Amino acid sequence: MALGNGMVDIQKLNAISSLTPRTTMSRIIFILMGLVAGISEEIVYRGFAIRALSSNQINKWLSVLIATIPFIFQHGLKSIDQFWWFMSWGIAFGVLFIILKKLNILIIIHWLVILSAMAAILQVVN
């Protein structure tokens, strides 16, 4: 959604095109890194942070907000739009974790978000 509604600055795109994967193997590694990141983020921010905060007598909803803060900033924000994007996803994942109490569903949803963003990136770069 963020990529679809945003304006593409051709100069900036050309500046980063050397950083995008060009070969099949580098694209596979690119995708695997994204999938590993999704698993890691869910384990750290939902599985560990929310549980640890809640077990220390912090309200579960406040725990979601607190765990969302490092989730936002670890993505290396470049604009206020990115801030709201990652905050929305961080809160959504946290609320789902509180409701479902399972990481596996969150990991799958996180993977879908990552894969859709990667597909958009790879289409723009080609």
pLDDT in tens, the chain (126 residues): 455 556 666 676 666 556 677 788 888 888 899 899 999 999 999 999 999 999 999 999 999 999 999 999 998 877 888 899 899 999 999 999 999 999 999 999 999 988 888 877 777 665
Task: Answer whether 0.85 is exceeded by the pTM.
Answer: no
- Ramachandran angles phi, psi of 79, nearest 5°: -155, 165
If phi > 0 it is left, if psi is from -120 to 50 it is alpha, else beta; for residue 101 that is left
